[in-house]
Structure 1
Amino acid sequence: MADFDILVVGDANPDLLLRGDVRPRFGQEEQLLTGADLVLGGSAAITAVGCAKLGLRTALLAAAGEDVFGALVREQLTAHDVRLLSPPAAGVPTGLTVVLSETDDRAMLTLPGTIAALSPADVTAELLARARHVHVSSLYLQPALAAGLAEVFVRAHRGGLTTSLDTNWDPTGEWASITEILEHTDVFLPNAAELLAVTGAATPGEGAAKLIATGATVVMKDGARGARAWWHGGESAAPGTPVAVVDTTGAGDSFNAGFLAARLSGHDLPEALRWATVAGALSTRAAGGTAAQASPADLAV
């Protein structure tokens, strides 16, 4: 029996979340905020916490430095029953993201630090042997990992694991290695813009059709409109869940956690899509990515 239901691979760092008058104006003009929170961030870390809250035995492979921000990451993950497996990153500061959050949009300023430290070699055969499923987040903040992820997924499949991927946006716009990676990805979890950018398609349905041909299931986040999934022989949609939105940081990662928790618990694809949309929406009720994440009771029919 595997030690973990899911091994999440990617980024873990604090988010400094600022709300209010957040659009910078230079010229030494002081601006007043309405809120500031230092919370656990990183797409992979938020996904991992969401999975643990939904009952999965969860491990996170992410680099964290030996500094105050690294200590915060470790403390928060431990508090949420996520096992952090952190390769050495001596002398490298823990990454940090400053989130400038408005009601309907946000901007992010990121110091990569340890976020970029992972490599394919860190995802060892011994580590894969301890899990049922491997999920990768924030691919393009981790160029070394991206360059060899296809081979990691090949090894995972050989070991009997299933695989999933949420690339997040590629800041370079190049989407390096993505075609090869998706050939070995069981579940791809983009938003609508990412799906179009990755496939070069004119519509999400056209883009999904290209990926289904390779054997992937495509699960697309579509904001307040909900989500849609396509797979070989089927398609499903789920409406958005109305909530009083405080902050959308990490909503897509909580969506991922809801979907993966449902599938790894034996639910079919339409039910997993429902879990995902509810989990993503509920996470927006508080500042940061983890404070208001869904519990199993929240997702019960």
Structure 2
Amino acid sequence: MRLSPSDPPDSTRAFDLLVIGDANPDVVLSGAPRRLAYGQREQLVSGGDLVLGGSGAITACGAARLGLRVAFAGRVGDDAAGRFVLDALSARGVDVTHCVVGPRPTAMTVVLADGQDRAILTSPGCLPDLTADDVPRGLARHVHVSSYFLQPALAGGLPGLLAEERAGGASTSLDTNDDPAGAWDGLAGVLPEVDVFLPNAAEAVAIAARLADQPLPVEQAAARLGALGPLVAVKDGAEGALAWDAGRIVRVPAVPLEPVDTVGAGDSFNAGLIAARLRGLDLRECLRVAVTCGSLSTQAAGGTAAQPTWKEL
């Protein structure tokens, strides 16, 4: 893999990347049972970790680990969980001066992991309160948005926010993550303002089916989404990743590693792809960097503990 130039280009902007989105503590329980025993029965699991979670937070940390100057804009509560989040982001080199501390509680997530599969239970807390007005403009060369469906107030103002950033010379990206409601609405209005769309395969298929009124295989789904304007980079699990760009499909294989914990692997993929694009690498190399970042991040518990540096790639 040709990883050059070694440093991001200089810029007059304060940051290379602004991440807008979710940040919360994750309680990750490994070896969780497939069926929970209610009736106040206690079940034992093989391991547990308290780690930094949230797609936006993990992406921000991964990008900082890769050498980018990163700022995070989101909301946390004035509580112990919020202080944990801000301290964890700051410790990983992410600027949090644009994160709003508000009266509602910080979001909290419990991840029940069973091998490579997992169930995710989230209390959204203050996440729905984030709006486009909370987000500073003109701060970074690239603006990334995470967890679209967990932040409905932000979603309403997102097309205008991203259009404004693009008009000012920034590039943009979006990872919707899952839609708890399963509706997948609203994206036709925002994707034309997105330079890079970063779904996983299941999300790409679901969103394209909503737009096309019929199910499509993943490559056709990527093409349907790309027809709205963005480069579409799809995380495809054991198959690696694929991208649709201006009518062509590019695929790269997965990295053959045995995962310890897959939580946050897609967010580390996002960080790798953004960092590679900002360094001017071509599409195939961007995908290879992204897949490698996602794969290496699975080698420790939680989403940030095993994120690689640029040199380690």
Q: Distance in 2 between the 1:176 and 1:141 partners?
A: 12
**Hey, what does 2:7 align to over in structure 1?**
none
**CA–CA separation in structure 2 for the residues paired with 1:42 and 1:214:** 27
> Match for residue 246 of structure 1?
260
Q: Do 2:74 and 2:99's aligned partners in 1 also have CA atoms closer than 8 Å?
A: yes
Q: 1:141 aligns with which of 150, 160, 164?
A: 150
| Structure 2 residue aligned with 1:55 | 67
Letter in 2 for 1:279: C
Q: Following superposition of structure 1 onto structure 2, how do residues 29-178 of structure 1 map, counting pairs within 5 Å?
A: 29-84=41-96, 85-90=98-103, 92-123=104-135, 127-178=136-187
Question: Any idea what SS the aligned residue of 2:234 has?
Answer: strand
CA-CA distance at 1:233 after TM superposition: 4.7
1:215 corresponds to 2:215:
no
Amino acid at match of 2:157: G
- 2:32·2:113 contact (CA, 8 Å) conserved in 1? no
Quickly say closer, same or farther: Cα 1:100–1:88, change in 2 above 3 A: same
The answer (yes or no) to whether the contact 2:21–2:147 under 8 Å persists in 1 is yes
**Residue range with higher mean Cα deviation, 44-53 or 169-178:** 169-178
Contact 1:285–1:292, Cα closer than 8 Å, also in 2: yes
1:228 alignment counterpart: 242
Code of the residue aligned with 1:5 in structure 2: it is D
Q: Please, which of 267, 273, 277 is the counterpart of residue 259 of structure 1?
A: 273
Shift of 1:176: 2.5
Q: Cα offset for 1:42?
A: 0.3
* 1-structure distance, mates of 2:236, 2:52: 24
CA RMSD, 1 decimal: 1.2
- The range that moved more, 114-123 or 243-252, is 114-123
The 3-state SS of whatever aligns with 2:143 is: strand
Equivalent position SS for 1:27 = coil
Contact persistence 2:31–2:115 (CA under 8 A): no
* SS of the residue 1:33 aligns to: coil
Misfit runs of 4+, over 3 Å: none
Between the aligned partners of 1:291 and 1:159, the Cα distance in structure 2 is: 35
Given the alignment of the two structures, is residue 269 of structure 1 paired with residue 283 of structure 2, yes or no?
Answer: yes
Looking at structure 1, the residues matched to 260 and 177 of structure 2 have their Cα atoms a distance apart, in angstroms, of 22
Which ranges in structure 1 are unaligned for 5 or more consecutive residues? Answer: none
Preserved contact between residue 70 and residue 94 of structure 1 (Cα < 8 Å): yes
TM-score, length basis structure 2? 0.91
Q: Gaps (5+ residues) in structure 2?
A: 1-11, 210-214
* Per-residue deviation, residues 151-198 of structure 1 (Å, max 9, x unmatched): 111111111111100001111122221001011111000011111111
Distance in 1 between residues matched to 2:247 and 2:201, nearest whole Å? 21
* Separation of aligned partners in 1, 2:259 and 2:224: 34
TM-score by length of 1: 0.95
The number of residue pairs the alignment matches comes to: 295
